[in-house]
Structure 1
Amino acid sequence: MNTLYSFRRCPYAMRARMALHYSGVAVQIVEVSLKAKPDEMLALSGKGTVPILSVDGRVIDESLDIMRWALAQNDPQDWLLKDDPQGQQHSAALIEENDQVFKVHLNHYKYAERYPEQPMAVYRAEGEVFLGKLDELLEGRDYLLADHPSLADIALMPFVRQFAHVDREWFGQTPYVRLQAWLQRFIDSDLFTGVMQK
């Protein structure tokens, strides 16, 4: 049986679970306590971070690699934008900016007390640059790069959700109404609610 070691609220694990769920790959999910990680998980990957997928004797321990593996099995809505090389490049660039830049601002904003060098509002403003960029991409369409969800939408959504939830009242009053609608559409979707069940 394919096994995914996961933590329900981890954004990296969320996006891996969504891709696996969407592709229809049968997988046993082991919910991990981050304070007491199971020995069998640590034996698979010394990184000790979720998600980790064990499949057919192979170990995949990066969330994006798990997503791509799942989509290689089955991608009915073309999340990979396989006939759109430009879209693929744009997708890769957005995901890299999310993972390398926006995630840093998100951590500083969410855990501002750990980073007293700047006020929380400064960290929020730094992250807001990316929110504005995403909102612009949604002009005239419901998803970031196509008229249907793509890998980029799913890879970014858990992080945008986390940023929005630091101060929901603030996020609800921002001018990013397209991004607000995009996020809510995913939060309400069967895909997301399906992978977030306890």
Structure 2
Amino acid sequence: MSKPILYSFRRCPYAIRARLALAYAAIDYELREISLKNKPQAMLDISPKGTTPVLQIWDGFPSHQSCTVLEESLDIMYWALQQNDPAGWLNLSKDDLPIAQQLIVTNDDQFKKALDRYKYANRFPERSPLDYRQDAENFLQILELRLAAMDFLFGDHPTIADMAIFPFIRQFAYVDFDWFQTSAYVHLQKWLAGHEASNLFECVMIKVPLWQAVS
């Protein structure tokens, strides 16, 4: 059977969390690093939305292959963890599960909106960068409170909530890293630094050449 194919953009937080889950689950896949300014037709053919990540999973016999296409990073994460979840990223109690799901929703909705406006404030001149940063801090405060009581968002080991949210907190921190490092979010700083120093993160952030279709 052919390997799954992941179309990815190295710095995209959605693609980062997909790669984290695939690497953690020890999925053998083909990484196709793309340029968002010159998207390959092979990706657009299976996912016209044109954003990363996109995972193409082959099924059937090699001579009559069909495929499943996952176009959302969370779908890719859940698929990978369903194949293999050695440290229990999905092991959440019935009480913690809805909280984790809501944290991810808040990250992907309100926080991501504020993050984009903070990072690209020149595109949204109706408010100041500080205003957008303060909007984003509503979510940071929730995370900081949880991390003051435990090493990770739901205890002493990472869960899907940590790994789905971490790439976006990283993107936020590097908008003004000096400010972030001197902010009151000391537990969030430690949590972020731990993720960045992990072998898992380092392996998924290795630079690879842009993929080009064989003509």
Q: What TM-score comes out, normalization by structure 1 length?
A: 0.98
Please give the root-mean-square deviation of Cα atoms over the aligned residues, in Å. 0.7
Q: What is the CA-CA distance between 1:128 and the residue it aligns to?
A: 0.8
| Equivalent pair of 1:81/1:87 in contact (CA under 8 Å) | no
Q: Where does residue 64 of structure 2 map in the other structure?
A: none
User: Of 170, 183, 195, which residue of structure 1 is paired with 2:179?
Assistant: 170
Q: Distance in 1 between matches of 2:152 and 2:52?
A: 27
1:148 and 2:148 aligned:
no
| Cα deviation digits, residues 33-87 of structure 1 (max 9, x gap) | 00111111001111111000001211101000000000000001110125x1122
Q: Is it true that 1:87 corresponds to 2:89 in the alignment? A: no
Aligned to 1:21: 23
Distance 2:165 2:57 in 1: 25
Larger radius of gyration: 2
Matches of 1:193 and 1:13, distance apart in 2: 14
Deviation of 1:146 (Å): 2.1
Matches of 1:33 and 1:137, distance apart in 2: 37
Gaps of at least 5 residues in structure 1 are none
Aligned position for 1:51:
53
The equivalent position to 1:63 in structure 2, one of 73, 81, 90, is: 73
Q: Which shifted more, 141-150 or 7-16? A: 141-150
Q: TM-score, normalised by structure 2?
A: 0.90
Query: 1:147 Cα shift?
Result: 1.3
Q: Secondary structure at the match of 1:116?
A: coil
Number of matched pairs: 197
> CA separation in 2, counterparts of 1:168 and 1:176?
12
In structure 2, the residue matched to 1:117 is: 126
2:206 is the alignment partner of 1:197: yes
CA drift of 1:129 comes to 1.1
Task: Report the Cα distance in structure 2 between the residues aligned to 1:87 and 1:191, rounded to whole angstroms.
Answer: 25
- Within 2, Cα distance between the matches of 1:55 and 1:87? 31
Structure richer in helix, relative to its length: 1
Structure 2: which 5+ residue stretches go unaligned?
59-66, 208-215
1:157-182 CA-to-partner distances (Å, cap 9, x unmatched) read: 01000000000010011111000000
Deviations 1:105-150 (A, max 9, x none): 0000000000000111000011011111101011231100121000
Aligned counterparts of 2:197 and 2:142: Cα–Cα separation in 1: 23
Identity, % of aligned pairs?
A: 49
Amino acid at match of 2:126: E
Instruction: Provide the C-alpha distance between the structure 2 equivalents of 1:119 and 1:45, rounded to a whole number of angstroms.
Output: 35
Structure 1's consecutive aligned runs of 4 or more residues displaced over 3 angstroms after TM superposition are: none
